[in-house]
A and B are shown apart, each in its own frame.
Chain A
Amino acid sequence: MPLLILLLPSLILLIAVFALPLFRYGWLSFHADSVMTGLVAIPNQGANWQRFIHDARYWQDLIQTLRFAFVSVTAEIVLGLIIALILNQPLRMRALIRSSSLIPWALPTTVMALGWRWIFNTPYGPIDRLMQSGLGQSLNALGEPSIAWITTVYADIWKTTPFVALILLAGLQTIPSDLYEAAKLEGASSWICLRRITIPLLLPYLGLALMFRLAQAFGVFDLVQVMTGGGPASSTESIALYAYWNALRFLDFGYSATIMIGSFLFLSSLILIAWLVITVARNRAAGVYAK
């Protein structure tokens, strides 16, 4: 019993900050609470949800958010794995290399988000200059809707790949080296080693990185808000940003809450599915390994 008392303050804080808001959103989503109602909550019989279901902008933002999340997380995991494999070798100045590659992860997103705006600036940024002199054509990386989202993906990859690489590196270091030695004795090539030893044994870590990164990328906000403001033409707008606009620009708290609780439900089911897929893959891998 005294043990639980030690746990209590932490638990209360978690409930206050994580659970209370969800209940509040659930309640708010059935109320109109905006400038129109004088910022007083008035029940509106599910009108928010009606609007939510038919809100083309939300669904477009959801698709954009998912696109952003899947593309950036996939790239981060592939790149992260490559970097981890490099860093796992005996290297001189390993600590220095490791901390240098950690710097992008440690810097505030907003700091570099504006930096990217300058680097991808048309026509004065270095990337655009390169494009102009190389292809004789401006890239317009932040002004062209079909390209701007890729630019934000790039910035996200730049920032979070070190984190993924670090987790995978930790995973690599748990693989006993005698497994590789045994495989080498059997004449296995490096590729076979990677496919049959490294990847299967790394699956738990890959799964972990995947889940955390997917959840984070799904809630992308800082990067997009500062780098593009959701533009051009809402092409990079994420659901979190949309919810933010609804609350603080349009002052429609009821609808903003609806967006957030709706997105939460969607994300929960997404994570559940990802978790199931990972578990199945892991069990299959374990089966292969046992054979």
Chain B
Amino acid sequence: MARDHGGAKSGCRSLRKMKAARFMIIALLIWSLGPLAWQLYTSFCTDQALVTPFASLDQRWTLVHYQSVLNSNPPFIRYLFNSLFAGVVSTVLTLLLAIPASYSLSKLGKRSALFFKCLLIGCALFPYVLLFLALLEIARYLQLGNSLIALAIPYAALSQPLAVLLLTNAFSDLPPELEDAARVEGLSVLQRFRWVLLPLISPAIASTAILVFLFSWNEYPIALTWISDSDQLTLPVAMARIAGSSIHSVPYGPYAAATVIGSIPLIILVMVFQKPIVSGLTTGAIKG
């Protein structure tokens, strides 16, 4: 009898626990998605509706904000492409530098590998905002301002710590016999990369690439200082520019529309690449 009683009680408790968990999850979703939903709502509201939400209006919903954003000069889509371009170039450059470096790190002796790892973690901890002035000077000196391709240089550098740490882990996790077997078969270093190493670490490469891409897409201070030509702005800088200099006259309707357009690619990206993003972030945490 006592046992039955205990069982019923714990059943009750686990049911209550489940309900509590469900409630918390809903709270979590509202908390993280609510602000975005509000932006979505705002983007479709007429200015009148935004100011007087409870009054009955002839016209509550509108697409005018989207029209104004898409037809601006340069059109907003342009910034998306700029960010995409900067993101892709930076990702490629980052991987080109990080893959050989990680291979070498994974083969180095324990002590020197630890030294380089500490160096990389130090760089990763560095608040890179503080670098913008010197980077700006370098950009001016080398005449790299206003070039999206040139942005890839600082981005690749800032992404190196994460990329190298992630890829070094991937290389170290490979069974060394696979590469030994390929050497016995007569494959050169490049052939081993092509046939053995790269295919095997491709999941880690995917994680790294997507994280680097996200970073480059979102980066603000360096893009802000390097790029002034309004045709070359990346999305974050363009968004900030919409606000203009005054705090009180932000065109919230068009801005919300821009937020929505600017967020859609990223939301799709996160939904599609949820797994590599999570695995990239977490292996970085577990092994870093």
Contact = CB atoms under 8 A, between A and B. Distances in A.
| A touches B (Cβ under 8 A) | yes
Interface in B77-125: 97-98, 100-101, 103-105, 107-108, 116, 119-120, 123-125
B25 A111 contact: no
Contact of A110 (B39, B105, B239): B239
Given A86-B25, A103-B270, A208-B288, A221 B129 contact: yes
A225 interface: yes
A64 to B, nearest CB: 15
Contacts of A7: 100-101, 104-105, 108, 116
Contact of B282 (A119, A158, A166, A260): A166
Interface string A83-120: 10010010100010111111110111111111111110
Contacts of A95: 274-275
B286 A174 contact: yes
Contacts, number: 243
Contacts of B158: 17
Given A110-B236, A114-B239, A114-B240, A100 B133 contact: no
B182 interface: no
Interface residues of B, number: 88
A221 B24 CA distance: 31
A114 B259 contact: yes
Contact of A212 (B105, B124, B267): B124
Given A110-B220, A257-B133, A102 B239 contact: no
Chain B interface main SS type: helix
Interface string A238-262: 0010011001100001001100100
B139 to A, nearest CB: 11
Interface string B117-144: 0011001111111111111111000000
B38 to A, nearest CB: 6
A253 B32 contact: no
B51 interface: yes
B255 interface: yes
Interface in B1-38: 21, 24-25, 28-29, 31-33, 35-36, 38
6 contacts: A7-B104, A108-B262, A114-B242, A119-B38, A162-B32, A271-B125
**Shortest beta-carbon contacts, A-B, top 10:** A219-B127, A21-B134, A170-B282, A17-B157, A10-B101, A6-B104, A6-B100, A108-B218, A99-B274, A108-B236
Interface of A: 3-7, 9-11, 13-14, 16-18, 20-22, 24-25, 82-83, 86, 89, 91, 95, 97-104, 106-119, 121, 124, 126, 129, 158, 162-163, 166-167, 169-171, 174, 205, 208-209, 211-212, 215-216, 218-219, 221-222, 225-226, 228-229, 231, 240, 243-244, 247-248, 253, 256-257, 260, 263-264, 267, 271
Interface of B: 21, 24-25, 28-29, 31-33, 35-36, 38-39, 42, 50-51, 53, 97-98, 100-101, 103-105, 107-108, 116, 119-120, 123-138, 153-154, 156-158, 160-161, 164, 214, 217-218, 220-221, 225, 235-237, 239-240, 242-243, 247, 250, 252, 255-256, 259, 262-263, 266-267, 269-271, 274-275, 277-278, 281-283, 285-286, 288
